[in-house]
Chain A
Amino acid sequence: AQSVTQLDSQVPVFEEAPVELRCNYSSSVSVYLFWYVQYPNQGLQLLLKYLSGSTLVKGINGFEAEFNKSQTSFHLRKPSVHISDTAEYFCAVSPGYSSASKIIFGSGTRLSIRP
Chain B
Amino acid sequence: DTGVSQNPRHKITKRGQNVTFRCDPISEHNRLYWYRQTLGQGPEFLTYFQNEAQLEKSRLLSDRFSAERPKGSFSTLEIQRTEQGDSAMYLCASSSTPGQSSYEQYFGPGTRLTVT
Binding site for B on A (CB under 8 A): 4, 32, 36, 42-46, 49, 51-52, 90, 92, 94, 98-108
A29 smallest CB distance to B (angstroms): 14
Instruction: Known A105-B42, A106-B42; judge A52-B48 contact (CB<8 A).
Output: no
A84 smallest CB distance to B (angstroms): 19
**Residue-by-residue, is B61-96 near A (CB-CB < 8 Å gives 1, otherwise 0)?**
000000000000000000000000000000101000
- List the count of A-B residue pairs having beta carbons below 8 Å apart: 60
Give complex CA distance A42, B31 in Å: 22
Q: Let me know if A107 and B42 touch, CB within 8 A.
A: yes
Binding site for A on B (CB under 8 A): 4, 31, 33, 40-45, 48, 55-56, 58, 91, 93, 97-101, 103-110
- 10 residue pairs of the A-B complex, CB under 8 angstroms, read A42-B109, A44-B91, A46-B104, A49-B104, A98-B97, A101-B33, A102-B45, A103-B45, A104-B45, A107-B41
Residue from A98, A101, A108 in contact with B42 in the complex, judged by beta carbons closer than 8 Å: A108
Give complex CA distance A83, B43 in Å: 25
B87 smallest CB distance to A (angstroms): 17
Q: Let me know if B91 and A51 touch, CB within 8 A.
A: no
B25 smallest CB distance to A (angstroms): 13
Give the most central of A36, A43, A45: most B CB within 10 Å: A43
Please, which residues of chain A bring their CB within 8 A of the CB of B45?
102-104
| Besides the known contacts A51-B101, A101-B56, 4 further A-B residue pairs in the complex with CB atoms under 8 A apart | A51-B100, A94-B103, A101-B33, A101-B48
Give the most central of A44, A49, A92: most B CB within 10 Å: A44
Give complex CA distance A80, B98 in Å: 33
